[in-house]
A and B are shown apart, each in its own frame.
Chain A
Amino acid sequence: MALCVIVIGAILVPMIASRDPSRIDDVLARRLVPPFGRDAHGTLHMLGTDRFGRDLFVRMMLAGRLSLLVGVVGSGFSGVVGTLAGALAGWRGGVLDRAVMGLADLLLALPRLVLLLVGVALWTPGLTTILVVLIATGWMGIARMIRAEVVTVRERPFVPAATALGASPRRVLFRHVVPNALGPALVATTLGVGNAILLESGLSFLGLGIQPPAPSWGNMIAGGRDLLVTAPWVALVPGIALVATVLATSVIGDAWRDRAAGMSLRGGPPV
């Protein structure tokens, strides 16, 4: 519910904003207005303005577009890559299985944040780098889950039955085996969106992610850091939307997981 509000807000608010949120004009009249305050021109700023007089609420929603994009694409594609890797590894077994799982173990041996930092160190910081590195470090968990499921489902009777009916191995894999294995992976991907958003904002906060003036929740917070003593809202306000978004995705993911667990205990969807 809350997630819908945020998504809609992120798309709509910058569109209906009466002034361009990135435009910097008349700085002295507008800068550092506290939340719910009016600036010298009389415009109400719901959450205040930053040091350049840019309205924080609209900018926060604009940043939401980018952060949500990174979160959804980053986590979604990790899910896809992980599913493909895990399915192939579980289905074929043998050398491919050991190679893929070995690579996953290798990447899991380093904390994800460290891998992200090394990634942005070696490539130029920016949107593409963040997306690539997020995907490259996020596929492992899902791959392991899918592989375990595929290995179990492989033994079920409908697999040789489908093969006997003349289905090619690839068709059996993708039309029959994988859909049965997808449940936990989808939950993990949903929970991963929140995690991806947190990681991206963390990197942007450190200056290694999305670069200003493009707004991201992380770099907005960083921008307000030295104003903390005089105008704390500049740093603290962008965090509100961040927390709300991550919270919403976690709640959705948790609820889905509980429902799925309940279903598997009962043996299937409610009849």
Chain B
Amino acid sequence: MSLAIARVLARTAVLYWCVLSLTFVLLRVAPGDPATFLLPPNASAADAARLRTSLELDRPVAAQYARWSVRMLHGDLGTSFTEGRPVVAVIGDALPVSLALGGASLLLSFLVGAAVGIVQAARRGSFADFSITVASVILVASPAYWLGLAAIALFTYVASSLSFPLWLRLPAVGMTTPGADLHGLAHLADLLRHSILPVTLLAAIGAAGVARYVRTSALDSLDTDWIRTARAKGLPERAVLGRHLLANLRAPLITLFALALPGTVAGSVFIETIFGWPGMGRLMVTSIVARDYPVVLGCAAAYGFLVIVANLVAESLLPWADPRLRG
């Protein structure tokens, strides 16, 4: 048992090391001198020369790789030159925001999506089923940032011209109201109010995808013997759907959830940019525009780490969720 775990961990570690090395390779494959990538634009020639010798850019690639590996193993991802702080610190500030946004919206999307999908399967062919399918397909085909802009237009422009009540005019930008020095519960309430639009949007798009998947799976399961038995036993339909159908869906849904998390955190780039949330996605975009390459590559490394952790978690949760896979 522990040998299997050790092998999985070893394989994961190797994969992650390769992902990190990819950032090393990309920097040297890109056109231009790596030193120009790693220095601020206003650096002098002397700075450039000094960086070149410290990075051993004149030495063979193997020596550079050895040097870089040592720095990586010490957790040194470089220094951001727009902020002057270590890249690890900059990412450490942004990551929790993205994880919170992504995690909350993913959870909501799975809860809502699973419920909607089961309802659709139960009422297959009805108008409700049809209209939900149309809505889901449109949501999935729409770019997230466009929906975000539409939502903002709705809650600001339309809200003021149609005079929505004040509580319905949702804030469009930022995590908290700027300038308001709130603490404790008031701060939390402010935060929640600012998160309504972004979280709902992300959740709606996610729920559309989940609902389509659940609908198909549920329709497949509804014909099986054990569902027929449950109905023959006289169970009310709600119990049949809620207990038995849902239990069968639990395993794939949990796996999907774990696997979807890195994708949602990555995809939140657009939502964070539109709503001005200081998360990883926006960090990546602003550092690309500012040509802050240590941060860009550090973000890529962080995302790789997320994906690998998510896959590990999904693999280990599977036996728990589906007893048939145990032992």
Q: Which of A106, A109, A121 has the most CB of B within 10 A?
A: A121
Residue in B143, B267, B288 whose CB lies within 8 Å of A113: B267
Q: Chain A interface: which size bin?
A: 35 or more
B39 within 8 A of A: no
Min CB distance, B305 to chain A, in Å?
A: 9
CB pair B146–A194 under 8 Å, yes or no, is no
Question: B residues 148-173 with Cβ under 8 Å of A?
Answer: 149-150, 152-153, 156-157
The residue from A206, A228, A239 contacting B152, defined by CB atoms under 8 A apart: A228
Q: B157 and A242: CB pair below 8 A?
A: no
Which chain A residues numbered 228 to 243 have a C-beta less than 8 Å away from chain B?
Answer: 228-230, 232, 235-236, 239, 242-243
Q: Residues of A contacting B291 with CB < 8 Å?
A: 121
Is A11 on the interface with B (CB-CB < 8 A)?
Answer: no
B35 within 8 A of partner (CB): no
- Residue-by-residue, is B121-150 near A (CB-CB < 8 Å gives 1, otherwise 0)? 000000000000000011011110110011
Is chain A's interface secondary structure helix, strand, loop, or mixed overall?
helix
A242 contact from B16, B146, B270, B307, Cβ within 8 A: B146
Given A110-B303, A247-B137: A236 touches B289 (CB 8 Å cut-off): no
Inter-chain contacts of B204 with A (CB < 8 A): none
Name B's interface SS: helix
Q: Which residues of B have CB within 8 Å of A228? A: 149, 152-153, 156-157
In the bound complex, what is the Cα–Cα distance between A114 and B304 (angstroms)? 9
Pairs A–B under 8 Å by Cβ, sample size 21? A106-B19, A109-B304, A110-B19, A110-B22, A111-B266, A117-B269, A118-B23, A118-B297, A120-B288, A121-B293, A121-B296, A123-B31, A208-B285, A221-B149, A232-B153, A235-B153, A239-B142, A246-B141, A246-B142, A250-B140, A251-B137
Interface residues of A (CB under 8 A from B): 102, 105-106, 109-111, 113-115, 117-118, 120-123, 194, 198, 201-202, 205-208, 218, 221, 224-225, 228-230, 232, 235-236, 239, 242-243, 246-247, 250-251
